[in-house]
Structure 1
Amino acid sequence: MEARALICENSLVTGTIQSRAGDILLVAGPFGLIRALRADGCLLRPEPRDTVLLALTENGEAWIISVLRRAAAQASAELALPEDTRLHGRSLTLEADALRLSGRTVDVRAGLLALGGRMLLQGFAVIQTLCRHMGERALRRRGRYAALDEEVRDLAHRAAGRVRSEARSSYRLRAEHADIRATEQVDIDGRHIKVG
């Protein structure tokens, strides 16, 4: 039933969503069943059995402008936003027991990006990191790689209280100049040792 035949001036009524056919929603209210559209300002997508606020205009249009009550108290909700949406604010906080970001492309830009938590899990096919300076501080760092290939164009410097390297099959050190020094003791132990 069209709203045009029911009213002669703008009015607000409540109703209950009966069904949905694409973008058109069938709403049961004081005027019977009315076909209505969700207004752009109604960000919560109405679902069947939801109680909604309906705006009936004098030109015969019916718009759902708000969802007043969900059909189930714990029902999931979906925000219907325009394709290009921006949120502006001096400070924006998202709090949830579980938060998931999903998208074909996720672009995060900030003057300072701080990540904190008990555990960080990464699973990527390819990771590329481009930066002028990278600093890390960790009580313990552990990694497992099928293959690790690193290239340092200038200076690679590592300072540690102790350094231990283990190789299961072979270990090679190649350089135009190699300088190995120890202030106390140097141990070289092997079944075959070749120098020169």
Structure 2
Amino acid sequence: MQNTLITMSRPGAENAVGLVYATVTGRADKWFFLSSPDMAVERAMRADSCLIEPESGDTVLVCNGGSQASYVLAVLARATPAQATLKLPGNVQLHTAQGQLQVQADQLELHGRRRVAVVGAQVEVAGVQGEVRFQQLTTSAQQVQARFGAVSTMAQSVTSTVGRLVQKARDSFRWTENLDETRAGRVRMQVKDRFHMKAKHTTMLAEGQVKIDGEKIDLG
């Protein structure tokens, strides 16, 4: 690429403003150090219109302000084409590297008038605090593994259909204010130590045989 200085000022004007190709050699704070033909410009700041953050080795287009500050207007050729950083007003940055995109912002919102879809072979969501709100929610998964420290749920009505249910708990407590009804083909209860049942009224009905077996049976 041939380095060419293009004059933009009126003929005869002092401290002419012009455009020049340059190569970024370093950076200090907001200043970029440059190598340009005949050292026409030695340093410049990034213009707001230059969204790509210049890096060492990049070829840039610089507006030589003469006695005024010079600005990098655009990045013409990247020293490392596989990665770049786009800086937007409000301290928002977009990083691209090897096909990856990373967005850095204090707050990020996505608004879709009809639909927002996230599709990927692997989707990860991480945060300190989360909130999910839907008027209607439908979920589908082949396999679910969940780990919780504490769970608290409130619902008006819960209906579930399960092919097989296995639960294991260290302690289990359940309070039912009104009716607790179980319908099963067979019920088997195994208690290792002691089985205690207390009720104001108890009724046991069997169409067939009733069997009570124990070393000692107390009635009354």
Q: If the length of structure 1 is used for normalisation, what is the TM-score?
A: 0.67
Compare relative contact order (CA 8 Å, sep 6+) and give the higher one, 1 or 2.
Answer: 1
State which of 138, 144, 151 in structure 2 corresponds to 1:120. Answer: 144
Change (3 A) 1:104 1:16: farther
Change (3 A) 1:78 1:131: same
The 5 A counterparts of 1:6-45 are 35-36=45-46
Counterpart residue number, 1:70? 82
Aligned length: 182
Identical positions, percent: 17
* Letter of the 2:111 counterpart: H
Q: Deviations over 1:51-97 (max 9, x none)?
A: 899997x98665889xx95339646431123x233211111111122
Structure that is richer in strand per residue: 2
Change (3 A) 1:27 1:179: farther
- Considering only CA atoms, is the larger Rg found in Structure 1 or Structure 2? 2
Q: 1-side partners of 2:210 and 2:183: how far apart?
A: 19
Q: If the length of structure 2 is used for normalisation, what is the TM-score?
A: 0.60
Q: 2-side partners of 1:52 and 1:175: how far apart?
A: 87
Kept in 2, the 8 Å contact 1:16–1:51? The answer is yes
Unmatched segments (≥5 aa) in structure 2: 1-14, 84-95
Kept in 2, the 8 Å contact 1:17–1:46? The answer is no
Q: 1-side partners of 2:100 and 2:215: how far apart?
A: 69
The 5 A counterparts of 1:26-175 are 35-36=45-46, 69-71=81-83, 74=98, 76-81=100-105, 83-89=106-112, 90-175=114-199
Change (3 A) 1:194 1:99: farther
SS in structure 1 opposite 2:104?
coil
TM superposition outliers: structure 1 runs of 4+ over 4 Å? 5-9, 15-21, 24-35, 45-56, 58-65
Kept in 2, the 8 Å contact 1:17–1:25? The answer is no
Q: CA RMSD in A?
A: 4.5
